[in-house]
């Protein structure tokens, strides 16, 4: 039996405090289950933004989608995770990835590393977080701060739920070993490019990636929740017109091929609902994330899928 659907909105547009809180409240009003933030320079700092989202809302979970592990020292990240989970009342979901934009590392004065080195660092980060946050107390947590208030520890036990995002073979094995949520982007970096440009993967390629993950995850006690990041949502009768502006970004792809991409939901409402249900059957995706610009457009789809 499939898991119930969950829906997340990834807030990618920075905003002043009141506007930030207002759009988080709007996500809650629309019915989103999770409010998410990315981890890119030029966007909001993830953990303060999630604490502000928690103050403005009551129901949604709050997640990073996903942290760039190369930006973070594991011990300092453990402190951020513990504090944020405590300040949000145990609503945090931690998403982690390797990072894929070299310019951001250069701007921050941090090493970028080879793909293998970035996966190694992510594995080290995950293992350290398990060690630090899985213990009864963080190192030095007996120390007092703020006039005697204990340093916060995570509310959730045995740990804050972990999402890992990535499509490569080593990433899928790491996800199978450690993640509660396996996140698929439906895209891959342009070969040799370090600017963050991505190319969508075809339905058959996504089949192969999900299949590779399932092979690695065989024998797990509890299956992970499978997540897909949607790059566009448009409820329209003119599907071709809606995707034509995207065609310059996917060279060599026809309009029909673009409309078949799993990360695009374009068409009449009933057709989009059928597409999501078919993708759940084919791939197992029950947790769907939309980018903030499509938060309103996806709301009728979300409403139609509840209970399905």
| H or E stretch at 50 | helix 46-56
SS3 labels along 117-156: HHHHHHHHHHHHHHHHHHCCCCCCCCCEECCCEECCCCCC
- Given a cut of 80, whether residue 226 has pLDDT beyond it is yes
Pick 192 or 106 by higher pLDDT. 106
Report the pLDDT value the prediction gives residue 153, as an integer from 0 to 100. Answer: 82
Average predicted confidence (pLDDT) for the chain: 92
Cβ neighbourhood burial of 25 (10 Å; 0-12, 13-18, 19+): middle
Question: In this structure, what token pair is assigned to residue 144?
Answer: 């007092």
Average pLDDT for residues 71-81, to the nearest whole number? 96
- Given a cut of 90, whether residue 86 has pLDDT beyond it is yes
Report the pLDDT value the prediction gives residue 186, as an integer from 0 to 100. Answer: 80
Look at residue 9 and give its three-state secondary structure: strand
Helix 295-305 × helix 17-30 angle, to 10°: 20
The yes or no reply on domain 6-231+267-305 and CATH 3.40.47.10 is no
Question: What does the pLDDT look like over 97-134, one tens digit per residue?
Answer: 999 999 999 999 999 999 999 999 999 999 999 999 98
- Given a cut of 60, whether residue 146 has pLDDT beyond it is no
Question: In this structure, what token pair is assigned to residue 98?
Answer: 């390797």
Average pLDDT for residues 258-265, to the nearest whole number? 95
Report the pLDDT value the prediction gives residue 152, as an integer from 0 to 100. Answer: 67
Give the least confident one: 33-42, 111-120, 194-203: 194-203
Look at residue 65 and give its three-state secondary structure: coil
Q: How far is CA 89 from the centre of its chain?
A: 20
Q: Domain coordinates of the chain in residue numbers?
A: 6-231+267-305
Cβ neighbourhood burial of 91 (10 Å; 0-12, 13-18, 19+): buried
């Amino acid at each position: 039996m499939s898991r119930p659907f969950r829906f997340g909105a990834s807030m990618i547009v920075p905003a002043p405090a009141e506007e930030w809180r207002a759009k988080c409240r709007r996500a809650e009003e629309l019915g989103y289950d999770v409010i998410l933030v990315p981890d890119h320079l030029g966007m909001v700092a993830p953990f303060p933004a999630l604490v502000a989202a928690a103050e403005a809302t009551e129901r949604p979970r709050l997640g990073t989608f996903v942290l760039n592990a190369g930006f973070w020292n594991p011990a300092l990240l453990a402190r951020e995770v513990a504090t944020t989970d405590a300040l949000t009342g145990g609503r945090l979901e931690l998403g982690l990835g390797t990072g894929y934009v070299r310019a951001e590392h250069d701007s921050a004065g941090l090493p970028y590393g080879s793909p293998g080195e970035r996966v190694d660092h992510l594995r080290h980060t995950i293992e350290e977080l398990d060690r630090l946050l899985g213990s009864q107390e963080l190192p030095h947590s007996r120390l007092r701060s703020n006039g005697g208030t204990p340093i916060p520890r995570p509310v959730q036990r045995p740990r804050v739920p972990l999402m890992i995002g990535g499509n490569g073979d080593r990433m899928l094995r790491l996800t199978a070993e450690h993640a509660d949520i396996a996140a698929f982007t439906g895209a891959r970096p342009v070969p040799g490019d370090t600017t963050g440009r991505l190319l969508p993967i075809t339905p058959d390629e996504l089949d192969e990636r999900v299949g590779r993950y399932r092979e690695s995850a065989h024998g797990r006690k509890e299956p992970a929740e499978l997540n897909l990041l949607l790059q566009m949502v448009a409820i329209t009768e003119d599907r071709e017109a809606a995707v034509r502006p995207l065609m310059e970004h996917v060279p060599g792809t026809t309009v029909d091929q673009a409309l078949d991409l799993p990360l695009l939901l374009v068409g009449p409402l009933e057709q989009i609902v059928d597409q999501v249900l078919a993708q759940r059957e084919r791939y197992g995706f029950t947790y769907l994330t939309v980018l903030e610009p499509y938060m309103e457009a996806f709301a009728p789809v979300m409403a139609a899928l509840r209970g399905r």
